[in-house]
Structure 1
Amino acid sequence: MSNHISVEDVPLSRFHRLLTVRSGGGSFVDGYVLSIIGIAMTKVSPALGLDAFWEGLIAASALIGIFFGGFIGGALTDRLGRRVLYFVGPTLFIVCSLAQYWVQSGEMLFALRFLNGVAVGIEYPVATAFLVEFLPKRYRGPCLATLTILWFAGAAAAYLTGEAILNFGGPDAWRLTLASTAVIGALLFLVRLGTPESPRWLMSKGREQEAEAIIKRVYGHDFGLKNLPQQAECQHLSFGSLLHSGYGKRMAFVTIFWTCSVIPVFAVYAFAPRVLEALHLSGNWASYGSIAITLLFVVGCIIATRLVNSLGRRKLLLHSFLWSGLALLLLGLLRDGPSMVILLMFGAYALFIGGAQVLQLVYPNEIFPTEIRAAAVGVGTSMSRVGAAVGTWLVPISLQTIGIGYTMYIAAGITFFGLLVSWLLAPETAARSLEDAASLDAPQPKVSGNLSKRSSW
C-alpha cells in the first residue's frame, strides 16, 4: 500500500505534532523576546538613564539582530542542513538572556538584545523549513500557522510574566524580567534533542542513503525514497539565478507583505502601554488593555488558522489587510473617543491582522523550492525586520512630534499598501503539494470547503 502513498498524503502523526512543538518553540521565544522589553522599559529607562533615542534603539535592537540572523540562518540552513542550525538559536537565547541580568548601560543592553535578535533571525528559516519538509500537505498550512499563534502566546506570556516579576521581584525586578527568556531557551534546547535531518535537504545534496533511513524511521519501514515526491532539479543554480528565473517576483511579494504586516504589530508590542496612554488610556486601562489586546492577537491567529485552508491563502490575506487597516484608520479618527471605543478598535485590529500574521510563515515556505527555501525565508525575515526596526525606533519620536492620530494614520497606510501588493501578487497555494506550490508553472487549484474538514488537527 505504501508503494503508492506520498509522504505528503499520510495522516498527521505523533512525530509531526512533536516537530511542530519543537519548531514552534522558537516562535514562542521570539514573541517573548520582542515583547518583554516593552514591559521592562518603564523600569529600564530610569535605571540606565535612557533618553527617547536610546529607548527606541533598544526596543528595535532585536529587530536589527533579526535582519542579520535571517540572512545568516537562511544561507547556513540551506548549506549545512536544518539540524545543525536547530540548536544555535536556543544556545544564544540562554547565554544572552542570562547576561542581561548584569547589564550596566544602554549600549550593553543594545548589544545583548541584538544577539538575541540574531538568534530569532536564525530560528525563522531553520524551524519553518524543517517543519514544512516533513508535514503532509493538508496539515501544512494549519501547522505553520500554529507557529504564529505560538509567537503571540509568547508575547502574552511576556506580558503576564513581566508584570508579575515587576510587581513582586524587588528593586532589580527589571533585570529578572529580561533574564527570564533563558528559562524558555533551555527548555527549547532540551525538547529539540533527537530531531532527525530533513530527507528533502539530504536529497538535494545527493545523500540518498541517509534520506532513505530517516524516511523509514519517521514514516515506517514500508516507506522510502519512492514515497518522496520528485523535487525540481535546481540545485545547480544559485539563489540569485533562481530569483532571476522567476522567483524574484515571489521574493518581492513575500518581503513587502511581510514587512507591511509586522511594522504596526511590532510598534504596538514594543510600546503598547505608551501608545494606549497617548490614546488617553492610563493606569489599569493601559496595563490590562495591553494584556487583553495581546490575547486577542492570539485569538485572531487561531481563527485564521482555521480558515487558512477553507478560505485559501490569498483571500485570507486580502481580508486581513483590509479590515485591520480600517481598524487602524478608525483609531486615528477616534483618538479622542471613549476608552472602551479605543480598546474595541485595537481589539478589532488584533483580531483581523491574524490572517496576515499566520501567512508570514506559510507563504515563503510553500512558494520556493527546497534548495532555496530556507534562504528565501531568511531574506523575507531580514528585509521585513528592516521596516519593523525603523518603525519601532520611530514610534516614541512620532508620538512626541506628530501625535498619536497621525501615527495611526501612517500605520493604516502601511497596512493598505500591503493590501495593494497582495492583491497584485499573492498566489493561491492551498491544496497543492509542496512541489506544485513551489513550481512557477503549476496551475492554480480551486480551494474547496471539503479541504478544511480534512485539515482539522
Structure 2
Amino acid sequence: MTNPAPITAAPALTRNDRLDRLPFNRQHGRLLVASGVGWALDAMDVGLISYVMAVLARQWSMSATQVSLLGSIGFVGMAVGASLGGILADRIGRRSVFVLTLVLYGIASGAMAFTTSLGMLLVLRLFVGLGLGAELPVASTLVSEFAPRRLRGRIVVLLESFWALGWILAAVLGYLVVSPTDNGWRWAMLAGAVPALYAVVARFHLPESVRFLEAKGRDADAERSVRVFESASGVAPMPSAPAAALPRVRARELFGHGHARRTVALWLTWFFVNFSYYGAFTWLPSLLAARFSLVKSFEYTLIISLAQIPGYFLAAWLVERLGRRITLSSFLVVSAVTAVGFGQAGSVGGVLAWGLLMSAANLGAWGVLYAVTPEIYPTRLRGTGAGAAAGFGRIASIVAPLAVPPLLALGRGGQGLVFAVFGAAFALAAAGALALPELRGRALED
C-alpha cells in the first residue's frame, strides 16, 4: 500500500503579489477617480494661466518679457516642488504629500484673484507651482503601486487623461469667464481655490501605498489596505510572505549601478517633452490672438484642447498592446511632425487640423510617460526617481516660455521657427524614449 503524497500549503504571496492578482474593481475605480479629480484640478490651474497671460498682456500693458516671466515662474516652483515632493513621498507617504500639495496650490491660486501688481502675481504663482509640481508625480506613483501589473500602464494613462478634462475646463473658463469682462480672469483664479477644498475629500478617500507602509514597518496598516482591495474583488485574504525592510533612500542611487542609463534616458525624455508642450501650449492663446481676435483665439484653443481626450484613450489602449517604449516614441514622432505643420499653417482650417493632431499626439505621449516613470525604479526610490525626473523636466518648462519671444523675433514675427524648434524637441524626446526599458506586464520592483 502506497502512502498518499503529503499535502503542502500553498506558498505565501507578498502583499504586492496579492494586489497584482486582482481584477480591476470598484476600489481601483475609486482610487483612479479620487486621484484623477486632483489631476484635473491641476490641469485647470496650469491651463488658466495661459488665458490670464493673454488678457493681462493687454490690460496691464505687459511686455513680451513680462508675459514670458509670468508663464515661467510657475514652472520654477514646479521644478522645485517635483523634486521635494518625490523625496517627501518616500519619507512621509504618497497620500500625505498629495493632500498637502492640494492645499498649498489651492490657497495660492485663489489668492491670485486679489492681486494688484505683477510682483504679487509672480510670488503667488511660484507657490502654486510648488504644489502642482509635487503632486503630479506622487499621484501617478500612488496609482501605479495599486494597479494590477497587466493593467498598470493603461490605468496610469487613464489617470493622466483627467488632465484633458481639466485643460478643457480651463479653456471653457477662458472662453466664457476670462474673455468677456475685465475682471473675468479674477473669477477664474477663484475657481483655482477648489483644490484646497477637495483635499479634505481626498484625505479620506485615498489609501496609502502598501509598498510605502511595508517599507516603514506598518504591516498591520498595509494588510488592512490589501484586504480592502481583495474584498472588493470577492477574493479571500491569504497569509502574506514577510516584507523585507528597505534601506534608506539616497538620491545619488539614481545614477548608481543598474539605474544610470534609465535615469539619463528618462530625464532627457522629460526635458524635451516639457520644453515642447509648455512652450507651445502656454503661449497658444497669445500666439493665436496675434493672428486672430482674442475671443477667436480662445475659441480655437478650446477646440484644439478637445483632441486631448481621444489622444489619451488611444494611448491607454496601445500601451498594453504595443508596449510603453514603442507607444511613447510613436506619439512623440507624430507630435514632432504636427508641430512643424502647425507652425506653417496659414488658414483657420489648417491651424485647427494641425492643432488637433498635435494636441492628441502630445497628450497621449504625456499619458504614457507618466505610466513609464514610476515603473523603472524600485519601491524605495520610486517617489524620489519620479519626482527627480519631473523636476528636471520642469527646467525645460521654465526655459520654453521665455524662449518664445526671441524665437518670434528671429522668425520676424512668424511662428514657423517657434514650432520648428518645438518639433525638433519632440524628436529628441522620441530618441530618449527609445532608450527606456520595456516593462509591460512586469511586476514593480520592490
Aligned pair in 2 of structure 1 residues 124, 227: CA closer, same or farther (>3 Å)?
Answer: farther
Q: Is the aligned partner of 1:131 residue 2:143?
A: yes
Cα offset, 1:33, TM superposition: 1.3
What residue identity is the alignment partner of 1:383? F
Q: Is the aligned partner of 1:428 residue 2:438?
A: yes
Aligned residues: 429
The equivalent residue for 1:441 is none
Contact 2:81 2:131 in 1 (8 A): yes
Cα offset, 1:393, TM superposition: 2.1
Counting only pairs closer than 5 Å after superposition, residues 238-387 of structure 1 correspond to structure 2 as 238-277=250-289, 280-282=291-293, 285-332=296-343, 334-335=344-345, 337-387=346-396
Cα offset, 1:212, TM superposition: 2.0
What residue identity is the alignment partner of 1:389? I
Contact 2:74 2:128 in 1 (8 A): yes
C-alpha distance in 1 between matches for 2:292 and 2:334: 23
Cα offset, 1:167, TM superposition: 4.9
SS in 2 for 1:432: coil
Counting only pairs closer than 5 Å after superposition, residues 44-55 of structure 1 correspond to structure 2 as 44-55=56-67
What residue identity is the alignment partner of 2:380? E
What residue identity is the alignment partner of 1:353? N
SS in 2 for 1:309: coil
Match of 2:104 among 92, 98, 104: 92
SS in 1 for 2:168: helix
Please give the per-residue CA displacement for 1:304-332, whole angstroms capped at 9, x wherever unaligned.
11211012111101211222211122334
What residue identity is the alignment partner of 1:239? A
SS in 2 for 1:434: coil
Counting only pairs closer than 5 Å after superposition, residues 53-68 of structure 1 correspond to structure 2 as 53-68=65-80
What residue identity is the alignment partner of 1:295? L
Larger Rg computed on CA atoms = 2
Cα offset, 1:57, TM superposition: 0.7
C-alpha distance in 1 between matches for 2:183 and 2:143: 39
The gaps in structure 1 that reach 5 residues or longer are: 439-457
The equivalent residue for 1:43 is 55
Q: Is the aligned partner of 1:218 residue 2:229?
A: yes
Please give the per-residue CA displacement for 1:347-399, whole angstroms capped at 9, x wherever unaligned.
22122223321122111111111101011111111111110111012223422
Contact 1:6 1:227 in 2 (8 A): no
TM-score for both structures, normalised by structure 1? 0.87
What residue identity is the alignment partner of 2:188? T
The equivalent residue for 1:389 is 398
The equivalent residue for 1:180 is 191
C-alpha distance in 1 between matches for 2:312 and 2:128: 25
C-alpha distance in 2 between matches for 1:41 and 1:284: 14
Aligned pair in 2 of structure 1 residues 90, 78: CA closer, same or farther (>3 Å)?
Answer: same
C-alpha distance in 2 between matches for 1:74 and 1:10: 27
What residue identity is the alignment partner of 1:219? E
Contact 2:179 2:295 in 1 (8 A): no
C-alpha distance in 2 between matches for 1:388 and 1:106: 20
C-alpha distance in 1 between matches for 2:172 and 2:11: 48
Cα offset, 1:254, TM superposition: 1.4
What residue identity is the alignment partner of 1:226? S
Contact 1:211 1:225 in 2 (8 A): no
What residue identity is the alignment partner of 1:223? P
Aligned pair in 2 of structure 1 residues 46, 245: CA closer, same or farther (>3 Å)?
Answer: same
Aligned pair in 2 of structure 1 residues 320, 251: CA closer, same or farther (>3 Å)?
Answer: same
C-alpha distance in 2 between matches for 1:107 and 1:313: 42
State the superposition RMSD in angstroms: 2.4
Contact 1:67 1:118 in 2 (8 A): yes
C-alpha distance in 2 between matches for 1:147 and 1:396: 34
C-alpha distance in 1 between matches for 2:328 and 2:393: 16
SS in 1 for 2:257: helix
What residue identity is the alignment partner of 1:419? A
Contact 2:54 2:286 in 1 (8 A): no
TM-score for both structures, normalised by structure 2? 0.89
Please give the per-residue CA displacement for 1:396-420, whole angstroms capped at 9, x wherever unaligned.
3422443311111111111111122
Cα offset, 1:98, TM superposition: 1.9
Cα offset, 1:145, TM superposition: 0.5
Cα offset, 1:299, TM superposition: 1.9
Contact 2:175 2:295 in 1 (8 A): no
Cα offset, 1:93, TM superposition: 2.6
SS in 2 for 1:311: coil
C-alpha distance in 1 between matches for 2:99 and 2:149: 26
Contact 1:399 1:407 in 2 (8 A): yes
What residue identity is the alignment partner of 1:162? G
Aligned pair in 2 of structure 1 residues 34, 225: CA closer, same or farther (>3 Å)?
Answer: farther
Contact 1:273 1:286 in 2 (8 A): yes
Contact 2:99 2:202 in 1 (8 A): no
The equivalent residue for 1:198 is 209
C-alpha distance in 1 between matches for 2:217 and 2:294: 61
Cα offset, 1:283, TM superposition: 5.7
What residue identity is the alignment partner of 1:138? R
C-alpha distance in 1 between matches for 2:21 and 2:241: 10
The gaps in structure 2 that reach 5 residues or longer are: 1-9
The equivalent residue for 2:6 is none
Contact 1:277 1:286 in 2 (8 A): yes
SS in 2 for 1:174: helix
Larger mean Cα displacement after TM superposition, 212-221 or 108-117: 212-221
C-alpha distance in 2 between matches for 1:359 and 1:83: 22
Aligned pair in 2 of structure 1 residues 389, 189: CA closer, same or farther (>3 Å)?
Answer: farther
Counting only pairs closer than 5 Å after superposition, residues 229-240 of structure 1 correspond to structure 2 as 235-236=247-248, 238-240=250-252
Contact 2:266 2:373 in 1 (8 A): yes
